[in-house]
Structure 1
Amino acid sequence: MLGFLVLVLVGTVLLSMPFAVEDGQAPGLMTAVFTATSAVCVTGLVVVDTATYWSTAGELIILGLIQAGGLGIMTLASLLGLLVFRRFGLRMRLTAQTETKSIGLGEVRRLVGRVILVSLIFELVLWVMLALRLYVGYDRRVGAAAYEGLFHSVSAFNNAGFALYSDSLMGFVTDPWICLPIAVAVIVGGIGFPVVLELWRRFRTPRAWSLHTKITVLATAVLLAVGTVLITALEWDNPKTMGAAGWSDKLLAGFFASASARTAGFNSLDVAGMEPATLLVHDMLMFIGGGSAGTAGGIKVATFALLAFVILAEARGEPTVHVLGRKLSDGVQRQALTIVLLGIGLVMSATVALLAVTSLDLDQVLFEVVSAFATVGLSTGITDDLPVFGQLVLIVLMFVGRLGPITLATAMALRERVRRYELPEERTIVG
């Protein structure tokens, strides 16, 4: 967390320089801090228009912060996951205690190398696709097409949501050659590096997938489908969003919105014009987020899915929780419940705080808070209208929402101890 804080401070200093702004005037401190935090935490919320406010140098600084933040999240989260797996692996339990808490330098190098390699491959492929489409379909000059393609490929794979267009991607709402590649990059970047690596190796043998991969892939597919259906149905006749589009364009827009709501931050529809029910669907999708050890935010799909299995087991009256042929440990259940309840508490506290200092509607405030906590970056357009206190609340939410769940889950896993005695059991009234 200190490393990411230093990165935010460095980004703030760089963005505070006059050369980072289009008009050559140094920005205010809050603008620089907010933008740097949003970029490092790969969120995408902004208080100024990225396309017109920042110079090319400023945009490149933002791009560098996004890349550093995305790689840092995937690398550190994967390393922490490796530490947890080794801590509880059977083979490591049989070795010396000092070895169970150490990770070899060779493993770190291989893991970091794989994260960087996978990231660069996907970003390079998306860069080429977007650049070609912008050059051929939108008459961009070669340099402009290459620059815009590079910026949006890095922003998409890292789930950052920063765009070089004032209306985000609304100008490409009916273009599958832009929306679908970006949606795929968002899903791959947000599903988590361990899952991507395992799918790369064992894509044709799903029975050999780990439980984590099975849960993540299944929950991701279900949430994408449910989100697409709900958003498309709720906005079908809305003239402010997709009401005038054809049915195929509506499906494309609904799918892109569902994928982006999971943590990407791009929007091809006008979020401010969406129905209240659609905003609530977005709130739920954003809060759940994407996969662990990826660039996605939220409580993570695995956490959500595990709690769903816990509820199912309790509804059936079963004494233990079974998930896809495996028994779920009590410790994992407690960790999942803790992360969800702490996330709800943080979102509710921030929502109350913003409602107390603004005259905005609950729909708008809750949407903004969940977007910041889940590092999504979608907004109804109120970010720059918030007072300084409100923007500080969002900065804290972005930082805590980005790093808090990772460090909290790892700390709880590594601190798990064996209790050598139990107190007398007693039940209380529940419900």
Structure 2
Amino acid sequence: MRISPRSRSLLKRRSGSAVLRARQPYARTRGDGTLRLGWHPSPAQAVVLAFATVILAGTLLLMLPIAAAGTPATFLQALFTATSAVCVTGLTVVDTATFWSPLGQFIVVALIQLGGFGIMTFVSLIGIGLARKMSLQARLNAAVEVRTVDFDDARGVVSGVLRLTVAIEGGVALLLALSFGLIQGEPPLRAITQGLFHAVSAFNNAGFALFSDNLAGYVSDPTICLPICAAIILGGLGFPALMQIRRYGLNRHGWTITTRMVLLMTPIMLAGGTIGIAINEWDNPGTLGPLPLGAKVLAAFTTSVQTRTAGFNVIDMGALDPATMLGMDALMFIGAGPAGTAGGIKVTTFLVMLAFVYAEVRGTQRLHLMGKRIPQLAMQQAMTVGLLGAGCIGTAVVILSETTDASLDALLFEACSAFGTVGLSANLTPSLPPHAQFIIITLMFVGRLGPVTLGVALARARRPVPYDLPEERPIIG
């Protein structure tokens, strides 16, 4: 095989490239025997392409006449639903309970499970089952998707994710099926179907429901609300935290700092959201006002849990007080734990940002958190994720406010819900014009993958700069 001088030069320059570089070369032989270079997707690009491919496939499946209960879905309706399902968001433009046929509902829940479990993780699982091993590229792809730092243990991570998913979804599905069957009086097959659908939707923080009013009909039923809340919270902790809890129990010495941060912030945000919602909405006739005392507390807690990026609603989101909506915007933007089924910028990112600001105010050069020193790179990444996330939401809200007649607080609520892959809606998304729904679709896609992952996937390969510029410090503040 002959190698052209240009290809030989390129190979020499790129021989030391990092494994996770945004673009990776691979070799192909031309007809004349010379070697030419092609493009091979990096792990970040592979994840983005995998999600986009599954969304497109789901769109085509949902457009089939047999997927709808009546008139077949349009391209926009199918695309929006597929994106919302794969990105485990829960925002809808059609009624899931009545618009889709049983086959369409099965496609939706399959997309939810695939999106929540992780497409590259699922592909890696198939590879393990067929070949009993994972290739290096498969380990890298899975490691990027589940955010593990040790890609050599990717096979163990994938297997652990599968076991946790089956155990939690199975347990919650059983509890819900018993409640639907024994308490709500549903036929056995329908009770099992409803229990399984809502367990998958809850654990994957999706928020899709098989009822036209979502879960508003069960606002005072703890046998429905609490198992769903438990699944949402567990899914929002993230797979690394769940696997460490399973392995070490309550022994904090075995936990990583990520698990400690998640378990610290989760109860704080749940309690803060519950108290804030209860105080603001206690006498609101459109939300908690008409409910008895116990139902008010349950509804406030359930609604707070939904801001963890789930999206089930037990009260009318369109009737919320503007102050409540603003507080929920913040909770949806933060989201839940990393490397799980939740969205948002993640609680770890938010806590690092808070700690960074606190350290700067105190004049501390190094950032210490929970007995550990946080590296400079982590601080830079946290600030980047936070600013990019806020920029995405801000840009979308500006465009939507200029092109629609909706109120600013409703648009901000909808944008935060889409970016945080939450699914709560102020009754606005179905009535948005097509271009606005495409913006919401984009926010869901970016929010599920993360702005940094998407940016790395779209960026060119990093090139070293052989020079530097004179340093000068600007005035800050």
Name the one with the larger helix percent.
1
Deviations 1:287-330 (A, max 9, x none): 00111110101101100011111111112221211101111111
Q: CA deviation at 1:232?
A: 0.8
Aligned mates of 2:462, 2:364 — CA distance in 1:
25
From 412, 421, 441, give the equivalent of 1:375: 421
Q: CA deviation at 1:369?
A: 0.8
In structure 2, do the counterparts of structure 1 residues 418 and 291 end up closer, same or farther at CA, with 3 Å as the change threshold? farther
Flag structure 1 segments of 5+ consecutive residues without an equivalent: 87-102
Q: How does 1:35-50 map to 2 (within 5 A)?
A: 35-50=81-96
Deviations 1:93-143 (A, max 9, x none): xxxxxxxxxx44xx3332222111110110000000000011111111111
Contact 1:75 1:111 in 2 (8 A): no
Which amino acid in structure 2 is aligned with residue 248 of structure 1?
G
Contact 2:118 2:145 in 1 (8 A): no
Q: CA deviation at 1:411?
A: 7.8
Q: State yes or no: 1:332 paired with 2:378.
A: yes
Which amino acid in structure 1 is aligned with residue 106 of structure 2?
L
Q: State yes or no: 1:9 paired with 2:73.
A: no
In structure 2, do the counterparts of structure 1 residues 399 and 262 end up closer, same or farther at CA, with 3 Å as the change threshold? same
Give the 3-state SS of the residue equivalent to 1:85 in structure 2: coil
Aligned mates of 1:422, 1:84 — CA distance in 2:
34
Which amino acid in structure 2 is aligned with residue 263 of structure 1?
T
Which amino acid in structure 1 is aligned with residue 369 of structure 2?
V
Aligned mates of 1:428, 1:288 — CA distance in 2:
30
2:135 corresponds in structure 1 to none
2:191 corresponds in structure 1 to 145
Aligned mates of 1:268, 1:158 — CA distance in 2:
18
From 177, 182, 190, give the equivalent of 1:131: 177
In structure 2, do the counterparts of structure 1 residues 82 and 29 end up closer, same or farther at CA, with 3 Å as the change threshold? closer
In structure 2, do the counterparts of structure 1 residues 275 and 19 end up closer, same or farther at CA, with 3 Å as the change threshold? same
Give the 3-state SS of the residue equivalent to 2:149 in structure 1: helix
2:315 corresponds in structure 1 to 269
Which amino acid in structure 2 is aligned with residue 303 of structure 1?
T
2:103 corresponds in structure 1 to 57
Q: CA deviation at 1:177?
A: 1.2
Aligned mates of 1:416, 1:250 — CA distance in 2:
54
Q: State yes or no: 1:22 paired with 2:69.
A: yes
Contact 2:50 2:120 in 1 (8 A): no
Q: How does 1:99-110 map to 2 (within 5 A)?
A: 103-104=151-152, 107-110=153-156
From 205, 210, 229, give the equivalent of 1:183: 229
Give the 3-state SS of the residue equivalent to 1:327 in structure 2: strand
Aligned mates of 1:296, 1:417 — CA distance in 2:
34
1:85 corresponds in structure 2 to 149
Contact 1:74 1:115 in 2 (8 A): no
Q: CA deviation at 1:84?
A: 6.3
Deviations 1:344-364 (A, max 9, x none): 111011001111111110011
Contact 1:216 1:291 in 2 (8 A): yes
Q: CA deviation at 1:85?
A: 2.5
Aligned mates of 2:214, 2:312 — CA distance in 1:
6
1:226 corresponds in structure 2 to 272
Which amino acid in structure 2 is aligned with residue 218 of structure 1?
L
Aligned mates of 1:353, 1:427 — CA distance in 2:
35
Aligned mates of 2:241, 2:463 — CA distance in 1:
28
Q: State yes or no: 1:159 paired with 2:205.
A: yes
Aligned mates of 2:332, 2:147 — CA distance in 1:
28
Q: CA deviation at 1:209?
A: 1.3
Contact 1:73 1:293 in 2 (8 A): no
In structure 2, do the counterparts of structure 1 residues 272 and 328 end up closer, same or farther at CA, with 3 Å as the change threshold? same
Flag structure 2 segments of 5+ consecutive residues without an equivalent: 1-47, 123-140
Contact 1:74 1:192 in 2 (8 A): no
Contact 1:168 1:268 in 2 (8 A): yes
Aligned mates of 2:465, 2:242 — CA distance in 1:
36
Which amino acid in structure 1 is aligned with residue 386 of structure 2?
V
Query: Percent same amino acid at aligned positions?
Result: 46
2:11 corresponds in structure 1 to none
Which amino acid in structure 1 is aligned with residue 379 of structure 2?
Q
In structure 2, do the counterparts of structure 1 residues 378 and 83 end up closer, same or farther at CA, with 3 Å as the change threshold? closer
Contact 1:286 1:370 in 2 (8 A): yes
Give the 3-state SS of the residue equivalent to 1:167 in structure 2: coil
Q: How does 1:295-310 map to 2 (within 5 A)?
A: 295-310=341-356
Contact 1:74 1:294 in 2 (8 A): no
2:13 corresponds in structure 1 to none
Aligned mates of 2:55, 2:455 — CA distance in 1:
23
Give the 3-state SS of the residue equivalent to 2:450 in structure 1: helix
Q: CA deviation at 1:244?
A: 2.3
Worse-matched range after superposition: 419-428 or 38-47: 419-428
Worse-matched range after superposition: 401-410 or 227-236: 401-410
Aligned mates of 2:328, 2:162 — CA distance in 1:
31
Contact 2:121 2:145 in 1 (8 A): no
Which amino acid in structure 2 is aligned with residue 233 of structure 1?
I
Q: Give TM-score scaled by structure 1 length.
A: 0.90
1:91 corresponds in structure 2 to none
2:20 corresponds in structure 1 to none
Q: CA deviation at 1:422?
A: 8.0
In structure 2, do the counterparts of structure 1 residues 269 and 73 end up closer, same or farther at CA, with 3 Å as the change threshold? farther
Aligned mates of 1:110, 1:78 — CA distance in 2:
11
Give the 3-state SS of the residue equivalent to 2:305 in structure 1: helix
Give the 3-state SS of the residue equivalent to 1:162 in structure 2: coil
Task: State the aligned residue count.
Answer: 410
Which amino acid in structure 2 is aligned with residue 372 of structure 1?
A
The structure whose Rg is larger is 2
Q: Give TM-score scaled by structure 2 length.
A: 0.82
